[in-house]
Amino acid sequence: MASTSPFLFPISERVAFLSRIHIGTTIALLGLCLIPFFARIYIRVWPVWRFGWDDGFIVAGLVRLAYHQPALYGLAMFCFPSPLGMN
C-alpha cells in the first residue's frame, strides 16, 4: 500500500516540538556567542593590530557557521515542511 505522506518516515508531534526547541536554542546560543567573539576581535584589532592565526581560525569558523547553519535549517524545512511548523 502506497503512503501519501511526503516524508521518508513518520514524524510525531513530539519530534516536531523538539525540533523547534532545538532551532530556537541554537539560534539563542549563537547570538550569545557572538558577543565575546566581536569583543575579542575588537580587542585584537584596536588600538594595536595583534590579529593572529588563532583569531583567523575563529573568524573562518564563524564564517563557515554563518553559511552552513541557515543552509542546514533551510534543507530541514524543505525536507520536512509541515512538522517543523515553519512553512
Q: Cell triple for residue 46?
A: 584596536
Please give the pLDDT value at position 8.
63
For residue 39, pLDDT over 50 is answered with yes
- Could you tell me what percent of the chain has a pLDDT over 70? 75
For CA atoms 35, 58, 23, 68, the dihedral sign is positive
* pTM: predicted TM-score of the whole model, two decimal places: 0.64
- Could you tell me what percent of the chain has a pLDDT over 90? 39
Mean pLDDT of the 38-61 span: 93
For residue 85, pLDDT over 60 is answered with no
Q: How far apart are CA 57 and CA 41, in angstroms?
A: 12
For residue 18, give Cα distances in angstroms to 4, 31, 48, 59, 61.
24, 20, 46, 30, 26
